[in-house]
């Protein structure tokens, strides 16, 4: 007894079976199989086969091309999901591709950028710089600039090993100096806030909103509404009634009076879920924009959570240091941290405005300060008062003051303090020598009391008419700004500055600016005496507080020294 095609079959003459069947039976099966395949393909391609659940429901048609495409993507046992380019934005140092699909984390490192030139479609594949999720529905891939004689408009992406010919895709390339790059719905005001490059270079001043209109493009219509406010890179417009409850995505752009083009090019989209209001109200939240600060994030969040911060908005400006893993770990430990991908370079003011709108429905107060800045309460320390929740208690005292919309705190800038390597116990313990006089300030604001233009200068926002601010004296609160750290950390500031109106340090402009380090010039060359600079006052107040409040009594370890403990 033998088995053939899963069924038992008697074989009377084994020799005949071995000789005859290979010659005739296998040929017959092959012929029948080929005929069945072509008949099936004919029916599929002509849409004659449909699958119905009942006569009242639409039929599900299975085109032959989709079946063949799925077969093709599964060749060699590997799945190649489609990567379709929706938009391209040309930055000075890279090309940003916006994809209409999401990319799984496990395959991000396998993405390559493909460049084309000439009529013969010569191609060149280069590794992508990075890839990430832009929002709930789209992804981004950062590619090197197109090499000489290769076109930027035809750059697309594929997975390493995928040899399929590219599908017809958009060939739009938007210049970063003139493009609508983001938008967010302000549900409380029934408006949309649009972020635009190329409107005005006027820093810290509002513009005439009558010069602008917003254009909303859906799949079925184009709507235009008037602007209510404008400043720097922000335009606020009325949200059309028909779009307030629209679950479908729509593109947003800006029209400028007097320009020949009907609307500026745009990559900004709003999805229906973007306007969903949050229900929980936090007393104190913090927003920051960062680049490659993963090693320092944990200390900053654990310390300020101890001071009473409940919610964190992290605007990630193209980090490549696995900050997602650090945030994931913090969330697993019940720290409420969200990461917002913000690929737009030199737009810190706009990013803070964007965050102010997002946080308004969740937070009574929002602080805007950097990962190297730490609030400290000298009076609490000197008088033996508990510092835990001191920051949230401070802002709560002003919540009932309807005319106070901002709390400002002065900053002390700390130097390398004699160190030449990153302090293992963190910045609050390692850096203890600072400059004598305070420099600038940081702010905690009430987002519902901001002016409608969201005008800000990074360090503070403009309030509505009749609303003012409170400036804290140094004995009550101060911000320790660990600005001038060991050289290996500090030199990263020469790569680029995130603020819109701050010149990059490699440029020979505004060398007297307070944003720059005095005496460094435009090259990242370490001065011989760097470790001793910016040291006028030895101040161990915050160091002593941290060691007494956070250090493990048995080991002396601080909670952000996780790597050393492992």
Query: What are the pLDDT digits (tens) for 122-151?
Result: 889 999 999 999 998 899 999 999 999 898
Could you give the angle at the alpha carbon of 97 between the alpha carbons of 92 and 102, nearest 5°?
145
Q: What is the mean pLDDT of residues 414-434?
A: 97
The secondary structure element, H or E, covering residue 565 is: helix 562-565
Give residue 163's pLDDT: 73
Q: In whole angstroms, give the CA distance from residue 446 to residue 282.
A: 12
Give residue 280's pLDDT: 65
pLDDT at 19 over 90: no
Q: Are residues 477 and 369 in contact, defined by beta-carbon separation less than 8 angstroms?
A: no
Top mean pLDDT of 55-64, 168-177, 441-450 is at: 441-450
| Share of the chain residues as helix, strand and coil, in percent rounded to the nearest 5 | 25, 30, 45
Q: Are residues 157 and 333 in contact, defined by beta-carbon separation less than 8 angstroms?
A: no
Query: What are the pLDDT digits (tens) for 5-17?
Result: 333 343 334 344 4
How much is the mean pLDDT over the chain?
Answer: 83
* Residue 234 Cα to chain centre, angstroms: 18
Contacts of 339 (CB under 8 A, 6+ apart): 314, 316, 323, 324, 327
Q: In whole angstroms, give the CA distance from residue 70 to residue 219.
A: 28
Band (411; pLDDT cuts 50, 70, 90): very high
Nearest to 423 by CA among 479, 381, 372: 372
pLDDT at 56 over 70: no
Query: What are the pLDDT digits (tens) for 221-241?
Result: 999 999 999 999 999 999 999
- Give 58 or 267, the one with higher predicted confidence: 267
Tell me the C-alpha to C-alpha distance, in Å, between residue 113 and each of 152, 157, 321: 11, 5, 21
Q: What is the mean pLDDT of residues 262-284?
A: 79
Query: What are the pLDDT digits (tens) for 509-536?
Result: 555 555 556 667 667 788 899 999 999 9
Q: What is the mean pLDDT of residues 287-295?
A: 95
Tell me the C-alpha to C-alpha distance, in Å, between residue 520 and each of 413, 485, 494, 498, 529: 16, 14, 10, 19, 12
Query: What are the pLDDT digits (tens) for 316-341?
Result: 999 999 899 999 999 999 999 999 99
Give residue 563's pLDDT: 53
Give residue 275's pLDDT: 52
Query: What are the pLDDT digits (tens) for 180-212?
Result: 999 999 987 799 999 999 887 677 789 999 999
pLDDT at 167 over 90: no
Contacts of 499 (CB under 8 A, 6+ apart): 346, 348, 349, 458, 515
Give residue 525's pLDDT: 83
């Amino acid at each position: 007894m033998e088995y053939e095609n899963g069924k038992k079959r008697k074989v009377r003459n084994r020799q005949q079976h071995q000789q005859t069947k290979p010659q005739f039976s296998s040929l017959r099966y092959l012929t029948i199989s080929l005929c069945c395949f072509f008949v099936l393909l004919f029916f599929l391609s002509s849409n004659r086969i449909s699958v119905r659940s009942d006569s009242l429901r639409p039929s599900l048609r299975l085109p032959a091309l989709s079946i063949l495409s799925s077969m093709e993507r599964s060749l060699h046992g590997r799945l190649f999901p489609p990567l379709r380019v929706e938009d391209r934005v040309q930055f000075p140092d890279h090309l940003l591709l916006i994809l209409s699909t999401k990319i799984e984390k496990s395959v991000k490192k396998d993405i390559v950028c493909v460049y084309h030139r000439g009529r013969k479609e010569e191609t060149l594949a280069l590794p992508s710089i990075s890839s990430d999720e832009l929002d709930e529905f789209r992804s981004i891939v950062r590619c090197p600039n197109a090499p000489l004689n290769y076109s930027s408009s035809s750059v697309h992406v594929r997975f390493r090993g995928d040899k399929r010919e590219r599908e017809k895709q958009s060939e739009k390339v938007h210049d970063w100096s003139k493009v609508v790059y983001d938008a967010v719905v302000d549900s409380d005001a029934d408006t949309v806030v649009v972020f635009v490059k190329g409107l005005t270079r006027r820093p810290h001043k509002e513009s005439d909103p009558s010069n602008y209109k917003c254009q909303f493009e859906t799949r079925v219509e184009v709507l235009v509404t008037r602007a209510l406010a404008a400043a720097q890179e922000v335009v606020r417009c009325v949200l059309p009634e028909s779009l307030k409850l629209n679950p479908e995505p729509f593109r947003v752009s800006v029209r400028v009076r007097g320009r020949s083009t009907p609307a500026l090019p745009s990559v900004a989209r709003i999805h229906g879920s973007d306007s969903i209001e949050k229900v929980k109200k936090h007393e104190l939240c913090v927003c920051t924009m960062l680049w490659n600060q993963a090693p320092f994030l944990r200390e900053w969040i654990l310390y300020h959570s101890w001071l009473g911060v409940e919610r964190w908005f992290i605007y990630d400006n193209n980090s490549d240091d696995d900050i997602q893993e650090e945030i994931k770990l913090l969330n697993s430990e019940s720290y409420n941290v969200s990461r917002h991908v913000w690929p737009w370079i030199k737009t810190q003011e706009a990013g803070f405005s964007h965050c102010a709108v997002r946080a308004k429905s969740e937070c009574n107060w929002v602080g805007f300060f950097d990962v190297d800045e730490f609030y400290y309460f000298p009076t609490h320390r000197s008088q033996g008062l508990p510092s835990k929740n001191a920051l949230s208690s401070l802002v709560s005292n002003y919540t009932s003051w309807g005319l106070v919309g901002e709390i400002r705190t002065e900053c002390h800038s700390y130097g390398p303090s004699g160190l030449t390597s990153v302090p293992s116990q963190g910045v609050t313990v390692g850096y203890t020598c600072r400059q004598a006089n305070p420099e600038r300030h940081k702010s905690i604001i009430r987002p519902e009391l901001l002016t409608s233009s969201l005008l800000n200068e990074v360090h503070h926002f403009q309030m509505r008419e009749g609303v003012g601010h409170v400036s804290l004296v140094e004995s009550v609160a101060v911000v320790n700004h660990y600005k001038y750290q060991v050289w290996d950390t500090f030199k990263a500031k020469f790569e680029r500055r995130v603020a819109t109106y701050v010149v990059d340090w490699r440029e020979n402009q505004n060398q007297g600016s307070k944003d720059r380090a005095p005496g460094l010039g435009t090259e990242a060359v370490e001065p011989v005496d760097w470790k001793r600079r910016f040291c006028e006052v030895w101040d161990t107040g915050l160091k002593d507080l941290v060691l007494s409040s956070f250090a493990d009594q048995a080991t002396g370890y601080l909670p952000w020294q996780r790597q050393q403990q492992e």
